[in-house]
Amino acid sequence: MMYGVLLVIHLLAAIAFIGTLFFEVFIWHAARRPLAQGVKDAADPAIAKRSRQVLHGVVLVLYSAGIALAWQHRGALSQPLSNSFGLLLSLKILLALSIIGHYLWLAYWLKSGRLTPDRACWLRRSILGHMVLIVVLAKAMFYWQF
């Protein structure tokens, strides 16, 4: 019962996280092009601020539920090459850790004043790509579990 609840929470948080990144990468990035510079200058920080407010909680829930779910499969993680489920789960965890690395990189660039619009765009796209791979791996795990 608890496993199912964690799975649904993890799934919903992943949808929120990916949806936010999808909006930023594919919708907002293109929609802002024809806007006047003053509108862009006002909208960009407002969207970034709201995105951070939402994503901090979403990421906390996503990673907490993910850790709790992975703990349920710690046996498969102890020998990840012994079965496809353990291998796929290990790859998901590595990608999730890489996303944390991206956010640490972002924090460094923000703190040092070296975050450029191109770097921010690259980070968003890279994180979205990582998340899409994680979703594909999760689907593959479900397929091979049965």
Question: If pLDDT is split at 50, 70 and 90, which confidence band does 91 have?
Answer: very high
Q: What is the pLDDT of residue 7?
A: 94
CA separation, residue 126 to residues 8, 76, 95, 106 (Å): 25, 28, 11, 12
pTM of the model: 0.88
Q: Is 82 helix (H, G, I), strand (E, B) or coil?
A: coil
At 119-128, the pLDDT tens digits run: 999 999 999 9
Question: If pLDDT is split at 50, 70 and 90, which confidence band does 146 have?
Answer: low
Q: What is the pLDDT of residue 73?
A: 86
Q: Which amino acid is at 111?
A: K
Query: What is the C-alpha to C-alpha distance for residues 80 and 101, in angstroms, rounded to an integer?
Result: 22
3-class SS string, 13-27: HHHHHHHHHHHHHHH
Question: If pLDDT is split at 50, 70 and 90, which confidence band does 144 have?
Answer: confident
At 49-86, the pLDDT tens digits run: 999 899 999 999 999 999 999 999 888 788 888 888 88
Token pair of 124 as six digits:
């968003």
Q: What is the pLDDT of residue 122?
A: 95
Nearest to 4 by CA among 63, 68, 61: 68
